[in-house]
Structure 1
Amino acid sequence: MVYISYMDSPIGRIYLQSSEKGLAAINFRKNEKPAGEFEEKEDEHIKQAKKELGEYFEGKRKTFTIKLDLQGTEFQIKVWNKLLEIPYGELRTYAQIAESLGGKQYSRAVGTANKANPIPIIVPCHRVIRMGRRISNYSGGLDVQRKLFEIEGIKYNDIKYIMRH
């Protein structure tokens, strides 16, 4: 069974989705509901996610312990597991993640996997930037990314924000 719920946060309303295995998705967009059957209910994974995210937004949590149900290709899951290794308050480039997976030639694929990350914040795709300290295309929007940087104490004054149309 798939469960969904939401929580209000400093970055707006967050929609949470879980399975029996763990937290499966965090969504910033209201109208995206899971395919198939689901129940609007707070199971143990959603309750834990709300607690941990609340602590994160208050600046009291730097790591998450919730079980995750990551669904994706083998490469995507490898990328997302690398994202989980990025320490709180630090940034990495797509190229650095790609090198850790075998070579800079995978940078674009890392970016694609980053964009497909189903559990932003907990799987910290907001901590990945382009070469030259450039940022674009964060799934929650640049304002959300800036707020997450503020929470984590990441200085973003020297980071270039690139808007794509």
Structure 2
Amino acid sequence: MRHHITGRFRPHPRIWVVFIFGILIGAAGMLVYLGEKLDSFYLERDAMYYANNQKQKEILRLKTELDRLTHEESKRREAAGKIRKIQVEVLTPQRFGQETIKAEVEKLLQPFVGKSIEWLGRNPDLVDTVLQGRTIRLSDPKASAVQLHVKYVTLVDSDLKVWIDARDVPADE
């Protein structure tokens, strides 16, 4: 026996049309809603990319500035760690000839200019070795020569300061 679909169980074509229109309207509504959401996400992503690029530029600028400052600081430290100037104080009973003695001692110590303060600190006897007992001839006829004796050696900032005791050399030497 065959069952026939009667009017009661038979789907109505309008229901199918309404169903399909419902699906289409629902899909269009979802597309509009999700399209707006997607557009806002794209805009937010673009804003984040822009902000990220700005931060990257700022980081690069700060790195460049840090490198420049580090380089300047290392140059400053390097310059501060070297002897820049030599100061000589002459202790002698003679009033004349002190400038000649100063000039000669500065000329003898000139190789120390530009050397590291640490190097001189590790070899403190070098100044003494260069100057101790050295005889300097003077142009003054009363005192023809003086013998140098190092009293003190100090390093003040980047200056080498030396106190010299200059004693007359007896005429028979």
Q: TM-score range by the shorter chain?
A: under 0.3
TM-score under structure 2 length normalisation? 0.22
TM-score under structure 1 length normalisation? 0.23
Which structure carries more helix by proportion?
2
The structure with the larger Rg is 2
